[in-house]
């Protein structure tokens, strides 16, 4: 055997690309899968396979053909019941088939946190038609947020401040949802001071945490993130306790991106992804081991030292496309990497994802920099 493990990656976007690089550095063999050819992770993997992860027969066939040691989902839109079946047959799903099922849709993970584990969340209701949206709004109160129970990168999410905006928000959520479930969550708008992502790594030796990451969103999608996010130590301890409770219940090993709202009176659980998080791309420059390195080590059962920052502070900013195109180029890379003349102590880097086509607001790259604050 020429590799330490064979990994089948389900979803091959920019997060998958960085994970493949981390796994390859540790000697893994990676098969990158997605619904389209030449996806970012495919460009750095050992093999690639193109099929829809929502096609259960195709998914099961691919698992049988590639015979992986680890099945690592990078996206939510997967026939998770197939993952449960192959796990029951003895295969390892990361972090677990149950975790992928619980987090594929916002309703399952929200119900687990709020109802089963007693973790503090916003008030919420579910809706499968516009009449239920109106009923949910009456129960939750305005302002509120409407978003699909399954989507990616904040797509389909909107804030409603007036009842006249409800129908447009419902239509927007339905138009941008993933999968085949026409269902949204109608939740209380939290008047938070800031929001964080707490990268939480569940290992065979216990749970460890990265310094909290702050972020700014537009259209429900992250635009900038920074680490560390200044936090009251009591609030950080509260967030860590909540994150530990949820990931221990989900089980398995790997990195989880756990999102929280931080209000004056405490911390409120928002969402969880059982995989590297987009806001965590800042760790490509901020930490000795990036979130992708940590995910790979946790999956493979390798030692993980205490997470430490490699600079006092760091930030990331996304590079977005503004139109549909299959013929484009990148300009300004040299100027970006040169930085500002008065910031000679900063480290600067850029990651270009290699996506084959653009569309409005599609993430095509990320800029990274360190600083003293």
Query: Rounded to whole angstroms, how far apart are CA atoms 103 and 151?
Result: 11
Q: How far is 233 from 179, CA to CA, in rounded Å?
A: 39
What does DSSP assign to residue 146? Answer: E
Residue pair 209/240 in contact by the 8 Å Cβ criterion:
yes
Q: Tell me the C-alpha distance between 3 and 17, whole Å.
A: 19
**What's the burial of 105, exposed, middle or buried (CB within 10 Å: 0-12/13-18/19+)?**
buried
Residues forming a β-bridge with 186: 125, 146
Q: What is the CA radius of gyration of the chain?
A: 20
Q: Partners of 358 in the beta sheet?
A: 325
Place of tokens 């976007």: 13
Residues marked active site are found at 152, 154, 259, 271, 278-279, 363
What domains does the chain contain, in order, with CATH numbers? 6-93 (3.40.50.20), 123-188 (3.30.1490.20), 194-371 (3.30.470.20)
> Rounded distance, CA 164 to CA 183, Å?
20
Per-residue pLDDT, 154: 63
Q: Contact at 8 Å (CB) between 145 and 160?
A: yes
**What are the helix (H) ranges across 213-261?**
233-250
DSSP 282: G
Secondary structure of residue 352 in the 3-state scheme:
strand
Residue pair 170/127 in contact by the 8 Å Cβ criterion: yes
CA 152 to the chain's CA centroid: 8
Return the structure tokens found at 36: 């389209």
Q: Give the Cα separation of 203 and 29 in Å (integer).
A: 21
Give pLDDT tens digits along the chain (373 positions).
688 999 999 999 999 999 999 999 999 999 999 999 999 999 999 999 999 999 999 999 999 999 999 999 999 889 999 999 999 999 999 999 999 999 877 788 999 999 999 999 999 999 999 999 999 999 999 999 998 887 765 678 889 999 999 999 999 999 988 766 688 999 999 889 999 999 999 999 999 999 999 999 887 789 999 999 999 999 999 999 999 999 999 999 999 999 999 999 999 999 999 999 999 999 999 999 999 999 999 999 999 998 889 899 999 999 999 999 999 999 999 999 998 777 667 899 999 999 999 999 999 999 999 999 8
């Amino acid at each position: 055997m020429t590799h330490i493990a064979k990994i089948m990656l389900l979803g091959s976007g920019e997060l998958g690309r960085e994970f493949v690089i981390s796994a390859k550095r540790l000697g893994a063999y990676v098969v990158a899968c997605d619904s389209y050819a030449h996806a970012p992770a495919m460009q750095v993997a050992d093999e690639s396979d193109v099929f829809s992860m929502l096609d259960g027969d195709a998914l099961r066939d691919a698992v049988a053909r590639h015979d992986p040691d680890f099945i690592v989902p990078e996206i939510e839109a997967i026939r998770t019941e197939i993952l449960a079946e192959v796990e029951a047959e003895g295969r390892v799903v990361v972090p677990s088939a149950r975790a992928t099922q619980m987090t594929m849709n916002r309703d399952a993970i929200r119900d687990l946190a709020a109802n089963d584990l007693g973790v503090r969340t916003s008030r919420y209701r579910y809706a499968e038609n516009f009449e239920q949206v109106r009923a949910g709004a009456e129960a939750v109160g305005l302002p509120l947020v409407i978003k699909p129970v399954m989507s990616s990168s904040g797509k389909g999410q909107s804030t409603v401040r007036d009842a006249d905006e409800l129908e447009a928000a419902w239509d927007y959520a339905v138009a941008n949802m993933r999968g085949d479930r026409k269902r949204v969550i109608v939740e209380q708008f939290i008047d938070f001071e800031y929001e964080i992502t707490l990268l939480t790594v569940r290992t065979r030796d216990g749970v460890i945490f990265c310094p909290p990451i702050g972020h700014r969103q537009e259209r429900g999608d992250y635009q900038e993130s920074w680490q560390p996010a200044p936090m009251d130590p009591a609030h950080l301890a509260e967030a860590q306790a909540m994150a530990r409770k949820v990931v221990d219940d989900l089980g398995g090993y790997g990195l989880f991106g756990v999102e929280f709202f931080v209000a004056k009176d405490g911390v409120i659980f928002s969402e969880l992804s059982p995989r590297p998080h987009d806001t965590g791309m800042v760790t490509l420059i901020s930490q000795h081991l990036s979130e992708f390195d940590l995910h790979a080590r946790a999956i493979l059962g390798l030692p993980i030292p205490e997470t430490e920052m490699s600079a006092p502070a760091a930030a990331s900013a996304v590079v977005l496309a503004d139109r549909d195109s299959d013929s484009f180029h990148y300009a300004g890379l040299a100027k970006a990497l040169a930085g500002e003349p008065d910031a000679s102590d900063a480290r600067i880097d850029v990651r270009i994802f290699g996506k084959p086509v653009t569309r409005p607001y599609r993430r095509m790259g990320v800029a990274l920099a360190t600083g003293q604050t």
